Amino acid sequence: MSNPLADLLLSWSRRDGSRPCIRNANGEVWTYGDLADRSAQIANTLIAHNVQAGDRVAVQVEKCPDVFTLNIACARVGAVYVPLNSTYTHHELLGLLEDACPALLVVDALLDVPFQQVTLAALLEQSATAPTTYIDVERSDDDPAAMLFTSGTTGKPKGAVLSQSNLVYGTSTLSAFWGMTENDVLLHTLPVYHVHGLFVAGYNTLVTGGCMVLLSAFDIDRIVAELPNCTVLMGVPTHYTRLLADARFTRELVSHTRLFTSGSAPMLATTHAEFTQRTGAQIVERYGLTETYILTSNPVDGARKPGTVGLPLPGVELRLDGLETGEIQVKSPTVFAGYWNRPELRGTEFSADGWFKTGDIGRIDADGYVEIVGRSKDLIITGGLNVYPKEIEQALDALPGILESAVVGLPDPDFGEAVTAVVVAEPGSTLDPAEIRYQAREVLAPFKVPKSVHVVESLPRNALGKVEKARLREMLSGR
């Protein structure tokens, strides 16, 4: 019998169970043997909750080591792991759950939703007396292993379904490309509800026998304290700008760190230059999507080109929908099969000959390095998280006194892009930007709430009546 993902994630547990794999913020150390035992106990408990192979298990909990054991337990059962942003409001969460229809929802505190749910604490208590052995459910390469929600062109989040082979191939390829080994210690500062923190950081450490120092959040003081003992730091551009703003972030502090990676959003060339000047090291920038895992990376050994996202990884084919600059399209063993319950999108998100359309505009230089120059879809990436303007506009338009709105991303030295709203008042209404932001917090996760709101008399439109967001950005940049 075979279960490709569980076999990969438990390979070191079965090879050397005494090795440490996770050190928690309070100093608690978990071994690879603990990972195998606890995931088996949770797998047995999931079965007791009537979770079967192919069922979705949705998880909205704060970051902790048991996120990884729960994820591995889902793999062992053959369930589809559905991580959910811990900051989603009840309104946002309910819509996603109605789409995913999970067999079980795991939360920190019980919610008012019509789905079977259990708190993580209760699940762990129930599993404490369960057997530490479990026969993994047989799965094939094409069976779904995870589903992550990503913003779509309609503004409604879509569930990208990643298969066993998507995750196995992506993890095996990337860990080899970055030279990850059992000697690596990763300082884990990322959230674990998306690809970057869970799969790129977590999986690439576990499958190579390394250890993770798990911080609950990006905390400068904790990073300064832990970094001298770590060999790898993975982050987003916002993390590096914040580190560079701290005088304690020095060449001496990072002397034992061999690899710094950045992704989820483009990094400014000035950040690259300042980082190298300060530390003597270079950041390895890479590129991927929820739907594709990681597609390109600058090499660890070899020329790294700041401003580019590096070279296609082994097995990845890239092409441009244009001569010198165009939309990036991709074929790879890591590309997902499609969106959950959205078969009609196959024809719009994939080319006629089967290449996935990333929506990103890029160039490829003579050496094969890829540069991202823009996005064909109006996506905003703020602090490494995706925000689709239409979802924000719909929330703003529903507020009293707002006739219409438009949302754009503006350059921000800390977050990469700042969510910025422009609103028009209904006749006779007076709008207060601070009040609008306050009301938006009631229905939107914090990272989606506009950083600033501008009240105007009308929105710029073209001859067909479409809002010209390029003109809006120009107007706002001049303010």
Same domain as 285, residue 393? no
Calculate the alpha carbon distances from 344 to 156, 329, 350 in Å: 14, 19, 11
Residue 466: other Cβ atoms inside 10 A? 10
CATH number of domain containing 165: 3.40.50.12780
Confidence at 1, pLDDT banded by 50, 70, 90: low
Q: What is the DSSP letter of 426?
A: P
**Sequence-separated (6 or more) residues with CB below 8 Å from residue 187:** 213, 215, 223, 226, 227, 230, 232, 233
Average pLDDT over the chain reads 93
Q: Single out the residue in 372, 393, 412 at which a domain terminates.
A: 372
pLDDT of residue 465: 57
Same domain as 407, residue 330? no
Same domain as 404, residue 269? no
Residue 254 confidence (pLDDT) above 50: yes
Dump strand ranges (E) for 27-154: 29-31, 56-60, 80-83, 104-107, 117-119, 144-150
Alpha-carbon torsion 272, 275, 281, 284, what sign? negative
Tokens of 25: 């913020």
In angstroms, how far is CA 28 from the centroid of its own chain?
26
Same domain as 348, residue 263? yes
CATH number of domain containing 399: 3.30.300.30
pLDDT of residue 362: 87
Same domain as 241, residue 334? yes
- The whole model's pTM is what? 0.86
Same domain as 396, residue 309? no
pLDDT of residue 438: 95
Same domain as 271, residue 210? yes
Tokens of 222: 């904790």
Same domain as 422, residue 337? no
Residue 313's domain spans which residues? 4-372
**Sequence-separated (6 or more) residues with CB below 8 Å from residue 464:** none
Same domain as 398, residue 321? no
Same domain as 401, residue 333? no
pLDDT of residue 75: 98
Same domain as 459, residue 338? no
Overall number of domains in the chain: 2
DSSP string, 327-359: EEEEE-TTS--EETT-GGGHHHHB-TTS-EEEE
Q: How far apart are CA 349 and CA 345, in angstroms?
A: 6
Q: Single out the residue in 372, 394, 423 at which a domain terminates.
A: 372
- Provide mean pLDDT across the span 334-363: 91
- Provide mean pLDDT across the span 76-94: 93
Same domain as 436, residue 347? no
Q: Single out the residue in 340, 372, 404 at which a domain terminates.
A: 372
Pairing state between β 56-60 and 29-31 = unpaired
User: CB of 454 within 8 A of CB of 433?
Assistant: yes
